[in-house]
Chains A and B, each alone.
Chain A
Amino acid sequence: MSESVRQLPEEPAPESVVARYGLLQRAGGILVPILTVVLAFLVGGIVILLTTGSVADTLETYREIFKGSGLSWFFDVGNNSIGIPFTDAHVWFPWDTNEAVSESAANLQQTLILWVPLVLTGLAVAFAFRCGLFNIGGQGQYLAGSIAAVLIATELPKAVALPSFVLIVVCVLGAMIAGAALAGIAGFLKGTVGAHEVITTIMLNWIVIWVGSYLFGVGGPFQTGASSALPSSEDISEKAALPVFWGDPFLQGLHIGFFIALAALVVYSLTLNRTTLGYEVRAVGHNPEGARYGGISVARNYFLAMAIAGLFAGLAGALDILGWQFRLDTTQLQGSQIGFIGIAVALLGRNTALGVGLAGLLFAALQTGTASRNLDPSVFNPELASSLAIIIQGLVVLFVGADVIILLALRRIRRTRARGATA
């Protein structure tokens, strides 16, 4: 037994992740993400081709998925007008917004509803990544936020009568704190005892899933009173529901969380690039030893970066509960993939605000376009299509992870060519 040999583990050198990341940042370019997506959709196309057996059907399937995603709405340009809020004035607007029941508009609302949590969990992964941490716990932080939001939104109105706005703010803040606390555990352990954040965040994901299943499962303390066999929370108070600004509030119109997610993208970018905190986080991400030498507390930044990541993911959970789900059941707890897709979003989006926004749109559109209610079964079985969406996500992650080699290959080609030119 080597019990007596107590060695301190070396600070795990983050070279693999961060060195690679630095290279990517320098290489910049939108080329690799686009190549990645094209390649993933090509492979996905081959899968469809093998299933349907004809190229025309494959193209038709992709076209239907595109239509189902609602992105076709952007091409329906016409001569319309839009009302300016709080006034009676109308101005010209290229797209038809009144037609809330139009199919493409309804689909686009679906896509954008999904875009909100994907962007926020994407930011949760991205922010930690800029600090050299791989936050695989976006899912757990998202669920912790959901659980907190649903608990506050169902229990608090029973105790005190709060105005709608205050209630929503309390729910959102509570969810963000829950997400931050969960992620903070991982950051704290990383900073103090060096426990690898990938391991701790994976474990925390599952702890949250099972604690949530306990809370809302059959016989659990916060299970709905409506039916004893239903493993779900109560519905949240109507006062806590987010206002819908586009579409039918009763048919899942787009809620104001959309603007919160947009704002989060801006906050993310400003925090990283324009604040001392962001500077320190990035310094630690590039080179923890260098940062330490420069007087930056590495442990503190590990904790802060994870906690802030948790804020984003917790916010995602709150907005989904208050604007989209209105309750939380155990199937959703155990089967939701939002936080994991967030990893793909962050990776594809290169951890930049713009990239995360666009990658979020791609994955949200893919999810919505392959959903059973949007895809015509006569074109392609929607159940197959949603599995296909998961395959495409996997391929994107796989190729994104390997893009350093593409860059190295490109560089080598360039260098050989340059050498050939001088010779």
Chain B
Amino acid sequence: MKRLPRGWRAIGWAGVVAGVIAAFVALPPISLRSPVPSVVIGLVALTVGIGSWIRGERRIGGYAIAAGVFGFALGYLATRSSLEHLEAAVVWGALFAAMLRYATPLVFASLGGLFSERSGVVNIGLEGMMLTGAFFAIWGADVTGTWTLGLAIGIASGGLMGLLHAFFSISLRADQIVGGTAINFLALGLTSYLFIKLYAREGTPTDLSTIPNISLDFLGNVPVVGNFLDDVFGNLNLMIWAGIALVGAVWVVVFKTPIGLRLRSVGEHPRAADTLGINVYLIRYGAVMLSGMLAAAGGAYLSLGFVTTFEKNMTAGRGFIALAALIFGNWRPVGAATACLLFGFSSALGKTLQEYSTSVSVLFEALPYVLTIIAVAGVIGRSIPPAAVGRPYTKQ
């Protein structure tokens, strides 16, 4: 950190923390049974948020207001609910582990989308690329007998989908949205076709070689928080760790290397980049193919690591959530990954809230999309896309 936030920024952050605490005091293991602390702390967060909003810290002020309202509401609802219900639904270790599981496919896909969009090519075909990766990873693992080759085949299939998108949107200068829509159709059709053709009767084999979990038993020995750490990180899939590493790697590549600078310049001002001798087409081709490969890796985790089977249209909109996370995270790797975690947490919470009501938990599925609309509408700081995104480049 270069510098700590000061002034109203710092106060705004404090408001966000207060909002979280407001909810936390009412939840296990503290489980205060009176709504008063939640309400008071929530109101503090709200006031502080409004303060920093007025003082110009719109984004963080907005977050503090949102955190205050949510903390207030969640805390209040938790005190209304019975303790048994609460302890069954809110198991922090399981909740965070589930969050990581739900977030990982999103992280891969949205980092993939980051490369494509930073290079100036809109990629709404992420969904299709994920689906392709999910199918071909299973198929590859089935045919070759090892998950490593399955994963590689899945990633390669996503790369090919990326190549198709790149060819049409870069070389043929087709509309990128139309191209992405076509990719989604093609991937859905192709994977269902092959799935029915190859696995129609009995589904994908159950004895597949799948991506292993990494067991970290020593975490349980850590004092005080050992159990919690073990619950969250003790038995995570290899791909989850890969996803975490990938966030750092992408940040370094995009912001700290010459190739990243070229990528960003191509997405912001391709003409200027071209005059400096950067091969715009090459960078864009590479970025779009890489985006397909990463999205496919997310899909491969889904099919070969998470649920270990394939179903028709199994990604079910995750590619679009990844896109939403990318936008919500303002086209930055850490921002996008944080958004994925937030959306993953909302999915995990939605699943555990089935304890209370299956119908209401469904509404949590809509949360990522609502937040993203709020983000692009500029209510809480505006998300600004790369300047040249969506426009084909013609070399002169």
Contacts and interface: CB of A to CB of B under 8 A. Distances in A.
A193 B186 contact: no
B168 A200 contact: no
Contacts of A404: 172-174
A317 to B, nearest CB: 19
Contacts of B317: 206, 209
A16 B392 contact: yes
B372 interface: yes
Interface residues of A, number: 64
Contact of A384 (B182, B196, B366): B196
B131 to A, nearest CB: 12
Interface residues of B, number: 61
Interface in A188-210: 189, 193, 195-196, 198-200, 202-204, 206-207, 209-210
Interface in A73-89: none
B178 A397 contact: yes
Interface in A237-296: none
A220 interface: yes
A213 interface: yes
Nearest to A405: B172
Contacts of B321: 206
Contacts of B235: none
A200 B175 CA distance: 18
Contact of A391 (B176, B190, B323, B377): B190
B88 interface: no
Given A16-B392, A136-B177, A196-B376, A390 B185 contact: yes
Contacts, number: 175
B382 A218 contact: no
Contacts of B377: 189, 193, 195, 200
* Interface majority SS (helix, strand, loop, mixed), chain B: helix
B251 to A, nearest CB: 15
B380 interface: no
Contacts of B384: 7, 9
B317 to A, nearest CB: 6
Contact of B360 (A20, A198, A214, A347): A214
A400 B183 contact: no
Nearest to A140: B369
A27 interface: no
Nearest to B372: A203
Interface in B135-187: 164, 168, 172-179, 181-187
B346 to A, nearest CB: 11
Name, among A200, A213, A390, the residue most crowded by chain B CB atoms within 10 Å (CB to CB): A390
Contacts of B178: 347, 397-398, 400-401
A53 interface: no
A373 to B, nearest CB: 17
Contacts of A47: 193
5 contacts: A211-B363, A218-B358, A220-B362, A402-B179, A404-B174
Given A202-B320, A210-B369, 12 more contacts: A3-B9, A134-B177, A199-B372, A206-B321, A384-B197, A387-B193, A390-B188, A390-B192, A394-B187, A395-B182, A398-B179, A402-B174
Interface of B: 9, 57, 59, 122, 124, 164, 168, 172-179, 181-190, 192-193, 196-197, 200, 313, 316-317, 320-321, 323-324, 327, 357-360, 362-363, 365-366, 369-370, 372-373, 376-378, 381-382, 384-385, 387, 390-392
